Structure 1
């Protein structure tokens, strides 16, 4: 499996391109702010043809470029129904100051939006993904899991980072739901699973099980304090 990334200009959001290999169809995951030209170069260099955009959640630092990416190719955007409204109003899941910061930003919903399953399989670009609903950061946060002969992968969005987790203090955030998602969807994964997060470097489930303080609190006592990292 071919997995490439482009880091957005704002909030350092990771946009991933996933394909079976060069010269094939692909999916684009979380196209953020200011990635368009570098994404196009990556697609051209690898001779990749996007067939869909997949969104780990609805915050605008992960969805900002979804309309140009989808519109240029007539492809669908996939989002969990819990965050569908954020494609219409990207500030509905953020504190009011973010709307003030954005000024006169114009926003349009993608022409073709598909809803992700709560949990279950999704085959796109010849890749068998598993979608896991993992609310807490947002109501519609999801994990995308896939495997090849080399490794199992978890594209975790803003659920899990190297050394941290997604914040739960924005509108729609839920600390108890985040704890359940970590306990029920993250911790059962194999230690060797490669985690590709929405921000920051890749890690593994094993490394996070051992060193991530938020996961340690769940393993040791079930208690978790509200995190502060990420948008």
Structure 2
């Protein structure tokens, strides 16, 4: 069960990563909070604005109690499917937070939720915050402009964390609508994630439980053979 401050995933000396699950589709909403400044970044404002608002408040109070400049700076969106953006307009406007998403999904987000993406991504960018840096990876197949966000901390005591949206789950890649899309997504996941990061890397998907790359590294051929 999630507390108001959410499920604590990473408790780093400089920051925390927490999550809550919202909606009947079990969407994961992730929150990074700087212990030093109180700066926060939300990943996937999926639904249930009031629950997200309490999540942001409680995490700030618990993880950065001695700071005075608590603020939600950015709302990052992994991809433009409706179930991941239903609270985006309310969250971004309430906190005056910058909306950030893949360039090729920005139109779908604007069309569905009437929210303009203020910073669009193509992949290979670095998003620099007070206590962490997020690298971006463009993954094609689930949607044209899906973006994974990577927190690769220099401290070896903490594993690399990848927020994969719906492009990678425990046991397989995300849903695709054609064999071509599936091959594109599997190729991107192989070359841009599995080939780059080690087995201890934590995968935080858009729905359900976390996993590590080591759990599924040996299953990639099986995924290709089954076609999903």
**Smaller-chain TM-score range?**
0.7 to 0.9
What is the deviation of 1:37?
Answer: 2.0
Aligned residues of 1:51 and 1:124 also touching (Cα < 8 A): no
Query: For the structure 1 residues 38 and 125, does the alpha-carbon distance in structure 2 shift closer, same or farther, using more than 3 Å as the test?
Result: farther
Q: Distance in 2 between matches of 1:26 and 1:45?
A: 12
* Alignment of 1:43 onto 2:56: yes
- The structure 2 residue matched to 1:162, chosen from 170, 186, 193, is 170
CA distance in 2, matches of 1:70, 1:161: 27
Matched, 1:4 2:18: yes
Partner of 2:134: 129
Q: Separation in 2 of the partners of 1:89 and 1:226?
A: 31
Distance in structure 1 (CA, Å) of the matches to 2:208 and 2:122: 27
Distance 1:87 1:204, change over 3 A: same
Distance in structure 1 (CA, Å) of the matches to 2:17 and 2:115: 27
Q: What is the match of residue 178 of structure 1? A: 185
Q: Does the aligned pair in 2 maintain the 1:10–1:33 contact within 8 Å? A: no
Q: Unpaired segments of 5 or more residues in structure 1?
A: 91-106
TM-score (norm 1): 0.79
| Cα 1:136/1:125, change in 2 over 3 Å | farther
Q: Give the TM-score normalised by structure 2.
A: 0.80
Match of 2:4? none
Matched, 1:143 2:148: yes
3-state SS of paired residue (1:206): helix
Q: Is the 8 A contact 1:169 1:226 kept in 2?
A: no
Q: In 2, distance between residues paired with 1:22 and 1:11?
A: 34
Aligned length: 200
- Unpaired runs of 5+ in structure 2? 1-14, 61-69
5 Å-filtered alignment, 1:1-150, equals 1-21=15-35, 24-34=38-48, 36-47=49-60, 48-90=70-112, 107-110=113-116, 113-148=118-153, 149=155, 150=158
RMSD between aligned residues: 2.0
Task: Return the structure number with greater relative CO, CA threshold 8 A, min gap 6.
Answer: 1
- What is the rounded CA distance, in whole Å, between the counterparts of 1:168 and 1:226 in structure 2? 10
